[in-house]
């Protein structure tokens, strides 16, 4: 899929390799910006940039997505995703870090959760947020018409898959050690056994079960069936 003169809109949530994707775009001389500010500013930025990603605590607003689809019909959309359980852990740990470092001023408010609340309620709100957005994506995008690419950032072929689909050069070895080749090498103990969050995952498993918490896309099989009609690197869901 050639990217020349096409906007690349990364619509996955933050904590799903948006920084790594931005570095890949920059390495390929694509002007990339993040989208963590208001509607007017985002739409103005999209008009002058090649790619946009990372909408902070929220996803890209659906009304903006529809405007972009109308205004830039050839755009390429990237739905970057990961295991639900790992994604929740990454979000919680990020907020814990920012709270401890007193870096909360730039955290955006959301309608669903208080980002500085490290709690079961917040984790369940993350799930509601993601389930609702993925369902909307399954309804907004049309296979054979829209250029939607879906990929699991935890898959071994994540970077080669994306670069191949977008006809981009991958980052060379040691290009940016902070990117760590798209993955942070944490053990499951580091991800889930932290006493600040371990009780949250015990409660989540009691409510949802392990299988649903390991979902790469939605917990809803019908939503997954629709989304898997688009190019993807997903294994059996």
Domains and their CATH numbers in the chain: 8-227 (3.40.50)
pLDDT of 45: 83
pLDDT tens column, 12-44: 998 999 989 999 999 999 998 876 567 787 888
pLDDT band at 209 (very low <50, low <70, confident <90, very high): very high
| pLDDT top residue among 109 and 129 | 129
CA–CA distance, 102 with 116 (Å, rounded to integer): 11
CB distance 115 to 198 below 8 Å = no
User: What DSSP element (H or E) covers 149?
Assistant: strand 147-152
**Residue 33 near residue 45 (C-beta atoms within 8 A):** yes
What is the spatial distance between Cα 92 and Cα 124, in angstroms, rounded to a whole number?
A: 12
Question: Are the C-beta atoms of residues 165 and 150 closer than 8 Å to each other?
Answer: no
pLDDT tens digits along 114-132: 888 999 999 999 999 999 9
How far is residue 142 CA from its own chain's centroid? 20
Six token digits for residue 125? 């709100």
* Better-scored residue on pLDDT, 87 or 110: 87
Which tokens in the block code for residue 157?
């072929």
pLDDT category, 46, cuts 50, 70, 90?
A: confident
Q: Reduced to 3 states, what is the DSSP secondary structure of residue 148?
A: strand
Rg (CA), the chain: 17
Cα-flanking dihedrals φ and ψ of residue 10, to 5°?
-85, 115
pLDDT in tens, 128-156: 999 999 999 999 999 989 999 999 999 99
Q: Is the pLDDT of residue 2 over 60?
A: no
In the block, tokens 């509601």 appear at: 128
Q: Which residues pair with 34 in a beta bridge?
A: 53
The answer to whether residue 177 scores a pLDDT higher than 60 is no
Q: How many CB atoms lie within 10 A of CB 165?
A: 18
Contact 98, 104 (CB under 8 A): yes
Question: Which among 179, 90, 165 has a CA at the least distance from the CA of 130?
Answer: 90
pLDDT for the residue 183? 46
What's the mean pLDDT when you consider all of the chain? 87
Tell me which residue of 82, 56, 81, 55 sits closest to 68, measured CA to CA.
55
């Amino acid at each position: 899929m050639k990217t020349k003169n096409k906007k690349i809109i990364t619509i996955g949530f933050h904590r799903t390799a948006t920084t790594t994707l931005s570095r890949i775009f920059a390495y390929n001389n694509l002007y990339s910006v993040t989208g963590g500010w208001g509607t007017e500013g985002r739409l103005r930025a999209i008009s002058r940039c090649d790619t946009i990603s990372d909408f902070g605590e929220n996803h890209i607003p659906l009304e903006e997505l529809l405007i972009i689809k109308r205004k830039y019909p050839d755009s390429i959309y990237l739905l970057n995703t990961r295991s639900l359980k790992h994604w929740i852990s990454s979000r919680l740990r990020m907020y814990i870090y920012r709270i401890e470092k007193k870096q909360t001023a730039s955290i955006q408010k959301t309608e669903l959760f208080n980002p500085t609340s490290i709690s079961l309620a917040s984790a369940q709100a993350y799930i509601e947020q993601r389930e609702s957005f993925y369902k909307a994506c399954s309804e907004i995008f049309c296979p054979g018409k829209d250029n939607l690419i879906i990929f699991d950032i935890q898959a071994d072929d994540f970077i080669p898959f994306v670069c191949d689909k977008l006809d981009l050069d991958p980052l060379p070895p040691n290009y940016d050690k902070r990117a760590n080749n798209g993955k942070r090498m944490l053990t499951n103990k580091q991800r889930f056994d932290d006493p600040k969050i371990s009780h949250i995952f015990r409660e989540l498993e009691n409510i949802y079960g392990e299988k649903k918490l390991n979902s790469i896309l939605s917990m809803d099989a019908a939503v997954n069936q629709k989304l898997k009609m688009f190019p993807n690197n997903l294994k059996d869901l």
